[in-house]
Structure 1
Amino acid sequence: MSKTFEADEVKQHKSEESAWVVVDGGVYDVTEFLEDHPGGKKILLKNCGKDASEAFWTYHSEKVLQKTAAEYKIGEVKPGSKL
């Protein structure tokens, strides 16, 4: 079973020490991926702590979400939570 996070908890993770992004309701801890992100860590950090779906889909395909991002998924945002 996947863990569910409140929006307030996700919003606290927007630094190099703890970086979480939300894509289509999924919560991804990208802290360990910051240095490896092909677009650089700055763009990831800009989108941490919030719903980054629009930015993600502008530059990535479904394949990236399924293959690369899957290992970083830690849960889902609680339904109805506003980021």
Structure 2
Amino acid sequence: MAKEIEASEVANHKSDESAWVIVDGSVYDVTEFLEEHPGGKKILLKNCGKDASDAFWNYHSEKVLKNVAEEYKIGEIKAGSKL
């Protein structure tokens, strides 16, 4: 069972030291990926701390979510949790 995370907890992680992002209800800790992100760290940080599903899907395919992002997945947003 995936760890359930409150959306308000994700909102606390939007810096170089701790960067979390939500994509389609899943939470990813992308802190270690910031320097590797092909689009740059700045755009990734801009979308951290919130649901970035729309921004993610504008630039990425399902393949990226499965092959790259999966290793950074730390849980799922708790049902009914709001940012």
Q: Does the residue aligned with 1:74 lie in a helix, a strand or coil?
A: strand
Q: Does the residue aligned with 2:19 lie in a helix, a strand or coil?
A: strand
One-letter code of the match for 2:53?
S
The share of aligned pairs that are identical, in percent, is 78
Shift of 1:7: 1.1
> How many pairs does the alignment contain?
83
- Confirm or deny that 1:45 pairs with 2:33: no
- Confirm or deny that 1:74 pairs with 2:74: yes
Give the structure 2 partner of residue 31 of structure 1. 31
One-letter code of the match for 2:15?
S
TM-score (norm 1): 0.98
Q: Mind listing any 5+ residue stretches in structure 1 that lack a counterpart? A: none
One-letter code of the match for 1:36?
E
Shift of 1:81: 1.3
Provide runs of 4+ in structure 1 moved above 4 Å.
Answer: none
Inter-partner Cα distance in structure 2 for 1:65 and 1:80: 24
Shift of 1:8: 1.0
Which of the pair is proportionally richer in strand?
A: 1
Which of the pair is proportionally richer in helix?
A: 1
TM-score (norm 2): 0.98
Give the structure 2 partner of residue 19 of structure 1. 19
